[in-house]
Copies of this chain bind each other. A is one copy, B any other.
Amino acid sequence: MTTVAEQKYAAPVGLEVRLRAIGPERYHHRHPFHQLMHEGRLTRAQLQAWALNRYYYQSIIPIKDAIILSRTDDAAFRRAWRKRIIDHDGDGTHPGGIEKWIALAEATGLKREQVTSLRGILPGVYYAVNGYLDLVSKRSFLEAVASSLTELFSRDLIALRIDRVREHYPWLSGGLAYFDARLTQAPEDAQFALNWVLEHARTEAEQELALKALRAKCDILWAQLDALYFAYVAPGWPPPGAFQPSVEAVPK
């Protein structure tokens, strides 16, 4: 029988196992849109819609990280976390994550201006991404940090994606620099955030909050693909004002 004291200060290893278990259960590598992508069954139009919509998510990442930075008086934390902003914004000469994502979108055949204007973003994507900003602004600092832990799961997805894009969409291979960089950046970032969460989520209630925040972030990623799937794959339709493909709708 577990005593209250033992429950209250569960060993961090238990929390780590539970956090990691969220990946196989609800990370967006399981989403049908990604599965179609990795099976080579998406059209170029669908990949355009994905690159365009996901750009909105990419574009807010440094904003999200600056919000997190602004919420702590721990200078050592800020020094570690600011790396994310630099990785994503680049230095003006060497492209950061946002520029690399634009290059990916251009490789699908979209114009840069079309992407950066944010015109044609699906409402479902828009509100899910804004929900992420809301989470890191208004929930506890622990939840804000824990929500970043989807990066624990991203390496395998990215490695698979790089492989499958080269195989099925060779015309897109030149646009993969974003994913190449994330292969090393994401695990570094995730390890720091994981250690921090394990150290700071001490009570049962805090651990539940951390788990809930990571699930919420998985939902935020998942909901973006739901919106894409409904609008551009399943017998759905893009809402008024959303991106309308002008390229062929057969797999290429």
Contacts and interface: CB of A to CB of B under 8 A. Distances in A.
Interface residues of A, number: 25
Residue among A73, A90, A96 facing the most chain B CB atoms (10 A cut-off): A73
A49 interface: no
Contact of A82 (B59, B64, B82, B98): B82
A67 interface: yes
Contact of A70 (B63, B73, B82): B63
Contact of A66 (B66, B86, B91, B92): B66
A216 interface: no
Contacts of A64: 70
A62 B64 CA distance: 16
B66 A78 contact: yes
A78 B92 contact: no
A13 interface: no
A82 to B, nearest CB: 6
Interface string A58-88: 0110111011011111011011001001100
Interface of A: 59-60, 62-64, 66-67, 69-73, 75-76, 78-79, 82, 85-86, 89-92, 96, 98
25 contacts: A59-B73, A60-B73, A62-B75, A63-B69, A63-B72, A63-B73, A64-B70, A66-B67, A66-B69, A66-B70, A66-B78, A67-B67, A67-B70, A69-B70, A70-B70, A75-B89, A75-B90, A75-B98, A76-B92, A78-B85, A78-B89, A79-B89, A79-B91, A79-B92, A82-B82
